[in-house]
Structure 1
């Protein structure tokens, strides 16, 4: 990934014209991986609270809502992403019920309402963009996620990297939830995979 993926100026310029883009895999494919974990969390007494980090111009939030999950908070540090997300939800459902917050995923404590916690945190390659800034931003992101997870909550992260969470100081136990083959242009192309990680606080 180019180094400027960590810079807000890159996303502002990109979202000025981009209205829809899905990183790595379609949102419905990612949702198929998330859903069994989401259904397990939904056995609780309260409605499942979902936090999506760095949603950009994806439609993953609409996949949650179409399955009845409306307590979804979508965070991005680029205000144009907020506009795009609300527009896509309104086009799909006729109104906006999910929450959209301008916040930096590496500084979640200052961006989210005080004391708010979530049962499920998801990101669709946001960890890859954050990691363009090195290990420290990823460590700050992970620490923020850990603090805003409810008891029993989990983080599901999609990445192009087979070693994205190898850093020793992350406060999570990490397992591979899915290994997804990337499309090939030619049958002779090497096998490349995208990685879906399940992270539980340790």
Structure 2
């Protein structure tokens, strides 16, 4: 039976023992795709505000911090995930400077301040977990993300699906910015990719 990735109870049980796990690609591999856009979003007035959706037990926030980005908010609807994130940051840097917030990615306004906006929003396969709840759940996530983006901001999402955002009513223009080949166990195995999307809000 497939895992109930859309259910908070699944993640609560999983994070009881899991302390670190990377979905689809290492954080450093993902950062190589993100960095050009992150650089373009940087301004002298203030560094880009970054939101990681469904941070789980990834160390992606550490990759941002190691590059000097501290205005990073990591959200997950499972509090255990945020405990793991804080520990990963403290183990790497000796202290905690980034934010960790309990919030549901389909209802960000319930967990984040009403006026808070981000230049860059990222997720590593959180869209895949949400999509297990159906298209309506993913559209709620997309609507919530759009409302949380600053003017000119973008959403970068890593998914195992080549058709993840082929949804009627999606409030974003979508571009595939990378196809990441997965490792093969045998030389004759078929080519399988993970897909990195750039999403810009529609007017």
Question: TM-score of the superposition, structure 1-length normalised?
Answer: 0.98
The 1-side partners of 2:168 and 2:174 are apart by 11
Query: How far did residue 45 of structure 1 move?
Result: 2.2
Query: 2:181 maps to what in 1?
Result: 181
Query: Is residue 2:122 matched to residue 1:122?
Result: yes
Query: 1:108 maps to what in 2?
Result: 108
The 1-side partners of 2:200 and 2:2 are apart by 29
Query: How far did residue 3 of structure 1 move?
Result: 5.0
| Distance verdict in 2 for CA 1:83–1:128, change over 3 Å | same
Query: Is residue 2:50 matched to residue 1:50?
Result: yes
Query: How far did residue 109 of structure 1 move?
Result: 1.2
Structure 1 segment 154-169 matched on structure 2, within 5 A: 154-169=154-169
Query: Is residue 2:10 matched to residue 1:10?
Result: yes
Contact 1:3-1:133 at 8 Å conserved across structures? no
The 2-side partners of 1:42 and 1:167 are apart by 31
Query: 1:144 maps to what in 2?
Result: 144
Query: How far did residue 47 of structure 1 move?
Result: 1.5
Q: Deviations over 1:127-146 (max 9, x none)?
A: 00000000011000000000
For structure 2, the residue ranges without an aligned partner over 5 or more in a row are none
The 2-side partners of 1:200 and 1:9 are apart by 32
Query: How far did residue 23 of structure 1 move?
Result: 0.4
The 1-side partners of 2:92 and 2:3 are apart by 34
Query: 1:87 maps to what in 2?
Result: 87
Query: Is residue 2:39 matched to residue 1:39?
Result: yes
Aligned length: 202
Query: 1:20 maps to what in 2?
Result: 20
Query: 2:170 maps to what in 1?
Result: 170
For structure 1, the residue ranges without an aligned partner over 5 or more in a row are none
Root mean square deviation of aligned Cα:
1.0
Query: 1:199 maps to what in 2?
Result: 199
Question: TM-score of the superposition, structure 2-length normalised?
Answer: 0.98
The 1-side partners of 2:148 and 2:2 are apart by 29
Q: Secondary structure at the match of 1:4?
A: coil
Query: How far did residue 111 of structure 1 move?
Result: 1.2
